[in-house]
Chains A and B, each alone.
Chain A
Amino acid sequence: DSGVTQTPKHLITATGQRVTLRCSPRSGDLSVYWYQQSLDQGLQFLIQYYNGEERAKGNILERFSAQQFPDLHSELNLSSLELGDSALYFCASSPQSLGHYNEQFFGPGTRLTVL
């Protein structure tokens, strides 16, 4: 158990809908990363938040957005869903000490199926 929790575990929805994935980082970790794992694209970085602020952006679609709240949990919002958005979405957290290596601890993931 990494200490990172993600809800829900599974999500089945229809095209055009909007969903919210939730991530609670390990206690004390300020940084949250979101990754997408799909058959087409493999594992790719989407976005990172640090202490409530967006820090880095990867291959995240405009239909997707994220935020990190004052209690440090994060939500990834996916809208106007398409079949190709079906994937496993991982959240990872790290302490993010500047100038040092920061291990990322991964949650169990949310499996999204778009029908």
Chain B
Amino acid sequence: AQSVTQLDSQVPVFEEAPVELRCNYSSSVSVYLFWYVQYPNQGLQLLLKYLSGSTLVKGINGFEAEFNKSQTSFHLRKPSVHISDTAEYFCAVSDFQGAQKLVFGQGTRLTINP
């Protein structure tokens, strides 16, 4: 079984400041790793994914994440945030094979203050 822990339920930051949203996972098998974003009253949108290869992955809207196998982490970063980044962010994992169902963390609410 897999599990995902997002270490911060809420992260407030000022506009143009850097941000890091932390995610740790647990799995007995190799997994794919994802970050999704949910804007208010909207569905889930894929920000970025790690499948294999380079441990630093770049996504949409200037976000990037680094896979650290030894620490079983997949932290999301952005060097300079904008008001429009205000949203809920979900870290998720899925199996390589089979159903590839997504197992989500509890989410981190990112609030950008002017």
Contact = CB atoms under 8 A, between A and B. Distances in A.
Interface of A: 2, 33, 35, 42-45, 48, 55-56, 58, 90, 92, 94, 96, 99, 101-104, 106-109
Categorize the interface residue count of chain B: 20 to 34
22 contacts: A2-B43, A2-B45, A33-B101, A43-B102, A43-B107, A44-B104, A45-B102, A48-B101, A55-B99, A56-B98, A56-B99, A90-B43, A94-B100, A96-B100, A101-B32, A103-B46, A104-B102, A106-B43, A106-B45, A107-B43, A108-B42, A108-B43
Given A48-B99, A99-B97, A106-B44, 14 more contacts: A2-B43, A33-B102, A42-B104, A45-B101, A45-B102, A48-B101, A55-B99, A56-B101, A90-B44, A101-B32, A103-B46, A104-B100, A108-B42, A109-B43
Nearest to B46: A103
B25 interface: no
A93 to B, nearest CB: 12
Nearest to B99: A56
Most chain B beta carbons < 10 A, residue from A35, A43, A55, A90? A43
Contacts of B107: 42-43
A42 B3 CA distance: 13
B103 to A, nearest CB: 7
Nearest to B92: A43
B17 interface: no
A2 B36 CA distance: 14
A45 B100 CA distance: 11
B70 to A, nearest CB: 23
A33 B49 CA distance: 19
Contacts of B104: 42-44
Contacts of A33: 101-102
Contacts of A44: 104
B74 interface: no
- A-B residue pairs, 6 tightest by C-beta: A56-B99, A43-B104, A106-B44, A45-B101, A108-B43, A106-B43
